[in-house]
Structure 1
Amino acid sequence: MTASREKESLARVLVHEGGYVNHLADPGGPTNKGVTQRVYDAYREGSGLPKRSVKNITDQAVEDIYDRQYWDAVKGDLLPAGVDYVVFDGAVNSGPRRSIMWLQQALRPIYTGPIDGDLGVGTLAALKAVNNNDALIDRICDTRLNFLKHLSTWRTFGKGWASRVKDVRAIGQAWATGQTPIAASFTDGGQAKALVENAKPAPSTAPADTAIGAGGGGLGITATLSGLQEQLSPLSYASEWITKIVVILALVSALLVIGGGAWRWYTNRKAKRLAEALGTVPV
């Protein structure tokens, strides 16, 4: 990896990030050239400088922040051509830890360690064992896109994010295969920060548990009424009335149990997919 790769990668990332933006739905808040006000405040404080609006960020500050907090954080100089840019862009958009998690997920089954966002010896060893970085970039981008689709902000920024990932995929694969990459393009919304804090909540199993509980209780009552029916069998009218109640109650209870079971299966399936998208379970 050479220093020029970082500069070439940064140039494309900055196209995706655009200029100053302060969208109400963007969890990053006020952001300029991909640098949030919070990150800029920390940078200036660390440099012994007073706080000021990120609108006034200098090119030098932008380069310093991207170098220290993103490129170095994902060990860009240790990553193969193309993969370095893809992981770097993901780090800027969703944080270094999240982008490294996408890399780790994409390295399965070669990588057998935890999906923890720590680009350590195990991850680097698995990366060296890959003989097709073009395909690896495909998997990283697919994993990233799946994550984005599970954010509550996808409805607002999904079009921009999808366009950005499409560009990142094409540019990364061009570098990985020794071709000249396309120029990056800006799509409004693609610069919005995509953070795990905005993940959609896992669906609740409470309705399913309630339905199953009610259905089970209903079946218990049905059994009780059946016993009562036997005792009242001499009274044909009462026995016939109870029979109708038993049949209706049994049907309703069975439907509740079946429906509750089906809903629990659905919610568990949705929860598993969400966990996979967020990298909280092995994939």
Structure 2
Amino acid sequence: MKQNFAKSLQRVLVYEGGYSNHPSDPGGPTNKGIIQRVYDGYRKAEGLEPRSVRELTKAELTDIYRRQYWDKVQADRLPAGVDFVMFDSAVNSGPSQATKWLQRALGSVQVDGELGEATIAAAQAHPDHDALIAGVLSRRLGMLQNLRTWSVFGVGWGRRVASVRAIGQAWAAGSVGPPPQVSVHEEGGAAKALPSDVALPKVSAEAGTTTAIGGGGVAATIDQAKDALAPVVGTSKTIDLIFTVLTVVSVAVVIGGAGWALWAAMKRRRAERAWSGEATADLDSGVPA
């Protein structure tokens, strides 16, 4: 709703705190929720020289938040409460990712990260905005729990999501709602939660499969050694023992490669569910659903 931008921004700024540059935060140098590269892009578009985000002015801050987050999720056209939830989600994880969570929660529109007329209409027509808010935030929490930095920032993110839910659902019911949780930024909740930071296996499932079928470097080396010994097997107990050991190791490598392939494929599927907004978490317990 149009009249909700100022009070939404006021609450988001409580979560964001002041200047930070945590080594684990993918956003890098950040001042009041505005990261350096976003500030650089804004200054360039305005025909201004780049400068440290520490020098961000109040007018610039308001303009960036409105243009790059509030307007990108068309919050002026969203129901009360849903607008705040989408705004905060966009600030923390980007407008496209926030839109995917909304589209998944609606369940009746295409999930493409583009907030068009069909998504707006579905949100406006939704019969239960409390449930819609919970649906968006359960997906948000579901992605957060799959980020590499969850162990670092998870407490703050969890409290931020809980606070946003309380405020959003209160606004949806026509109430002022509770104040924002002031400790969020102190507990890491201001760190950018970007979908690009979703945890992935260091070695792909394809690499594990290659090893399992004998194409990996280790497996290939063992097979070459076995081939070299095969003609003289039976001529010496030592050679027979070496050949047996190589056979056992070869089998272990194949089994290990197959196991890794299955684990990596599962991990990749979890990442894809997080990216797409499909992953959810129980908002009351914080446990993945």
TM-score range, shorter chain: 0.7 to 0.9
Match of 1:207 in 2: 208
For 1:128, which of 124, 127, 131 is the aligned residue? 124
The CA deviation string for residues 75-105 of structure 1, in whole angstroms up to 9 with x for no partner, is 0011111111011001111111111111112
Aligned equivalents of 2:26 and 2:119: distance in 1? 29
The CA deviation string for residues 93-142 of structure 1, in whole angstroms up to 9 with x for no partner, is 1111111111112222x22x1x3211012222332342111111111111
Largest Rg, 1 or 2: 1
Match of 1:268 in 2: 265
Match of 1:68 in 2: 67
TM-score of the aligned structures, taking structure 2 as reference length: 0.77
What amino acid sits opposite 2:264 in the alignment? T
Match of 1:154 in 2: 150
For 2:275, which of 249, 273, 278 is the aligned residue? 278
Ranges of 4+ aligned residues in structure 1 off by more than 6 Å: 247-259, 280-283
Q: Mean Cα displacement is larger for which, 154-163 or 74-83?
A: 154-163
What amino acid sits opposite 1:126 in the alignment? A
Percent identity over the alignment is 49
Give unmatched runs, 5+ long, in structure 1.
Answer: 226-236, 239-246
Match of 1:243 in 2: none
Match of 2:112 in 1: 116
Aligned equivalents of 1:262 and 1:210: distance in 2? 10
Match of 1:234 in 2: none
Aligned equivalents of 1:251 and 1:126: distance in 2? 60
TM-score of the aligned structures, taking structure 1 as reference length: 0.78
| Contact kept? 1:104, 1:123, Cα under 8 Å | yes
For 1:183, which of 179, 185, 196 is the aligned residue? 179
1:70 is displaced (CA, Å) by 0.8
Aligned equivalents of 1:13 and 1:48: distance in 2? 28
Give unmatched runs, 5+ long, in structure 2.
Answer: 236-243, 281-289
1:23 is displaced (CA, Å) by 1.4
* Residue correspondences, number: 264
1:181 is displaced (CA, Å) by 1.2
* Equivalent residue runs for 1:35-74 within 5 Å: 35-74=34-73
Aligned equivalents of 1:140 and 1:102: distance in 2? 5
The CA deviation string for residues 190-246 of structure 1, in whole angstroms up to 9 with x for no partner, is 1111112222124622334423547xx99xx9xxx9xxxxxxxxxxx99xxxxxxxx
| Contact kept? 1:74, 1:87, Cα under 8 Å | yes
Aligned equivalents of 1:252 and 1:51: distance in 2? 58
Match of 2:18 in 1: 19
Aligned equivalents of 1:282 and 1:129: distance in 2? 24
For 2:159, which of 163, 174, 183 is the aligned residue? 163
What amino acid sits opposite 2:45 in the alignment? G
* Secondary structure at the counterpart of residue 104 of structure 2: helix
| Contact kept? 1:208, 1:259, Cα under 8 Å | no
1:270 is displaced (CA, Å) by 2.4
Match of 1:83 in 2: 82
| Contact kept? 1:152, 1:198, Cα under 8 Å | yes
Aligned equivalents of 2:154 and 2:60: distance in 1? 29
Aligned equivalents of 1:72 and 1:150: distance in 2? 28
What amino acid sits opposite 2:91 in the alignment? V
1:29 is displaced (CA, Å) by 1.7
What amino acid sits opposite 1:101 in the alignment? K
Cα 1:57/1:258, change in 2 over 3 Å: closer
Q: Mean Cα displacement is larger for which, 75-84 or 52-61?
A: 52-61
